[in-house]
A and B are shown apart, each in its own frame.
Chain A
Amino acid sequence: MRGALLICKKEFMELMKDRKTMFFTFLLPVLLYPAIFGMMSKLGRNDEEKRKSKASRVAVVDASQTLLPLLRTEPTLFEVVSAPEGDVKQAINDEKLEMQVEVDEDAAAKLEAQQTFSVKATYDRSNDSSRLALTRLKEQLQKQDKTWVQARLKTMGAPADLASPTKLESVDAGGESRVMGRIMGSMLPYLLMIMMFAGSMQHGIYATAGEKERGTLLSLLATSLPRNQIVLGKLLYVFSIGILSALINLASLGISMLLTFSKEAAVNAPSAGPGMGSLSALANPATLALTFFLMVPLGLCFANFIVLMGVQAKNAVEAGSSIMPGFFAVMMMAVFSMAPGIEKMAWLPYVPILNVSLAIRKLFVHQGNIPEYLLALVMTVGLAAVFTWLSTRMLKRESALFKV
């Protein structure tokens, strides 16, 4: 093992000499996620908050003054504006106002006579602000309707409860942590797989086909280090980079999420936001450890694939193009594993690599299934072992080393 460690050390030393590559591999993701998350949440929040905080501009045609006073009592929701000149629809399209409300001329009389009067709202369905105005109007009318009905019932001598036969009360059985877990659980295997593969791919090519191309591999092979130790060293290097970049990406992602959600939680509901509690449930050490144990053999499989292809190739370009299909396969599997409802497929736990993302997914929604987890673990470890054996044998073949 000494030889493998020495080779791995040399690879890391070489990497460390290249400041630029170091920056793009390790530092950029750390800076990237907080930036992306911060921007996304700011944009999202800003837009929605702005709309919600603004009263809808509504033109009201109400000769009998039945609804107008009601709308006037809610200045945070409605700003009554004068009716536009010319075409109303055009004015709404031009965002001069959000909605026009026309109430029957004899509305007051109809209300008195316990009849139905009509309200006509003109709005723009394609416009978020305009839709919000309609929603507000509907809610307002619903409340008012109830008051009126109760008043009518009273005059008839009936109990007011007659107006509301049901009362809906909803309780979230999953709880915030389950909701977050579901989102994270389906996203995380995808992110981890992609990051591990993509993060180590270039470095793997550099250390294998790249060394061949640059003519440095021969000087390694001429030393007294055993061949399989050289391959193992390269493997160890690619594997470590994969795990490292996955961890770095993950940590950065986690921290940015924590920051954004806790900020959002503070804004939305200072008492118990969706952020902190659920995230700490996600960061449950057992869940993370189990995830990590699965990712390790998977990372080894990826590293093997990369090293195998890199050693086979004549040069870096050839290596890159032979590794790409593998990357696409991993991406497809990762995307597939994000699809909703796939956890119900009975054969899924038997598909290598896919079963890893399934197992991780289940861990995060607290549906961990021990046999399935173990199956995924054993299969991946087995696969990694076979791959490792294959690639050490492959590098022993001189045709792989002296391709010209």
Chain B
Amino acid sequence: MIQLTDVYKTFTVKDKRTRAKKQVEAVKGLSLTVKPGEIYGLLGPNGAGKSTTLRMIAGLMQPNQGRIQVCGLDTVEQPEKARAKVGYLSTDLNVYGRFTPRELLRIFGEFQGLDAKVAERRGMYLMEKLQLDDFADVKMEGFSSGQKQKVSIARALLHDPKVVIFDEPTTGLDVLTAKTVLDLLRVMRAEGRTVIVSTHVMPMVEEICDRVGIIFDGLLYGDASPKQILDDWGVKTLDEVFFELAARSAAEV
């Protein structure tokens, strides 16, 4: 279960030329709920605030305002306990090149406080699912980005998290690997986990997401099943919702 109530996040950035400090409102009053056994898709153009939202849910950042709960645990008040429930994956996250996948998973098993045997078994299961077993004992330095991404996925799911947060999980993956990941997400849903993913890839959303929320400029538009959204906006594809929103914001300025 993920629950966001009126969440705000502001960054202070400095303009190098004018030397003026500027407030960037990445998320402006976001509220949403994702239930167990559900895959929630967060859509939006670049810089919309998707990653920021997911980072806050994962406990990597704190909201300036509002409240985030993961499995009933407040991410600010009980950060460690909340993080223990979360499996987080993101594109700007990398693996330790000096280790092999097996070593990496063993180490992260320790970090997550797992029993060594349990971690080993779970790691093997995930590596098999992700078709990584051939590379389990190869140093990750020379891995392709897809191979690294697979290891990262295994790392994120190792501790059997109740909440799965994937920020653009299929970026840089070929169609076959992307399908493997999507299948894995379906398994997660079937196991009753709470899943939230962000993406630009619309077909993927229509295929696996039970509900979608469209973030545009820090605000959430629509919070319904993909089909419902298409009906509500009177369009044929989700891409068209983007074009509509972009046109609107251009008209406002």
Instruction: Tell me if A223 and B94 are in contact (CB < 8 A).
Output: no
Which residue of chain A is the closest to B139 with respect to CB atoms?
Answer: A17
Chain B positions within 8 Å of A215 at CB level: 92-94
Contact with A along B82-111 (1 / 0, CB 8 A): 011010101011111111000100011011
How many of A's residues come within 8 Å of B, CB to CB? 23
With contacts A17-B99, A398-B62, A402-B61 taken as known, whether A223 is within 8 angstroms of B93 at the C-beta atoms is no
List the B side residues contacting A227 at CB < 8 Å.
Answer: 79
A221, CB-defined interface residue at 8 Å? yes
B60 touches A222 (CB 8 A): yes
B152 to A: closest C-beta gap in Å: 7
**A374 — which chain B residues lie within 8 A by C-beta?**
none
Cα–Cα, bound, A18→B96 (Å): 12
- How distant is A366 from chain B, measured CB to nearest CB, in Å? 48
Instruction: Indicate if A218 sits at the interface (CB-CB under 8 A).
Output: yes
Q: Measured between C-beta atoms, what is the minimum distance from B154 to chain A in Å?
A: 12
Within 8 A of B (CB), among A1-45: 3, 6, 10, 13-14, 17-18
Q: Do A214 and B83 touch (CB < 8 A)?
A: no
B94 touches A224 (CB 8 A): no
Q: Is A174 part of the binding interface, using a Cβ–Cβ cutoff of 8 Å?
A: no
Would you call A216 an interface residue if the criterion is a C-beta within 8 Å of the partner chain's C-beta atoms? Answer: yes
Contact A225 B58 (CB under 8 A): no
Which of B62, B93, B108 is in CB contact (< 8 Å) with A218? B93
A221-B62 Cα distance, complex, nearest whole Å: 13
What is the total of A-B residue contacts with beta carbons within 8 Å?
A: 67
Identify which of A13, A18, A218 contacts B60 (C-beta below 8 A): A218
Please report which residues of chain A, range 202-242, place their CB below 8 angstroms from some CB of chain B when the two chains form the complex: 214-216, 218-227
Interface residues of B in 147-179 (CB under 8 A from A): 152, 155-156, 159
> A222 and B80 in contact (CB under 8 A), knowing A6-B111, A215-B93, A398-B62?
no
Closest A residue to B60 by CB, please name it.
A221
Contact with B along A63-104 (1 / 0, CB 8 A): 000000000000000000000000000000000000000000
- Please give, as numbers and ranges, the residues of chain A lying within 8 Å of B92 by CB-CB distance: 215, 218
A216-B94, A222-B58 given; 12 more Cβ-contact pairs under 8 Å: A10-B111, A17-B98, A17-B99, A216-B93, A216-B96, A218-B60, A218-B93, A219-B95, A223-B111, A224-B84, A225-B80, A401-B60
**Residues of B near any A CB (own CB < 8 A):** 58-62, 79-81, 83-84, 86, 88, 90, 92-99, 103, 107-108, 110-113, 139, 152, 155-156, 159
A interface residues, Cβ below 8 angstroms from B: 3, 6, 10, 13-14, 17-18, 214-216, 218-227, 398, 401-402
Closest 4 CB pairs of A and B: A215-B94, A224-B84, A17-B98, A222-B88
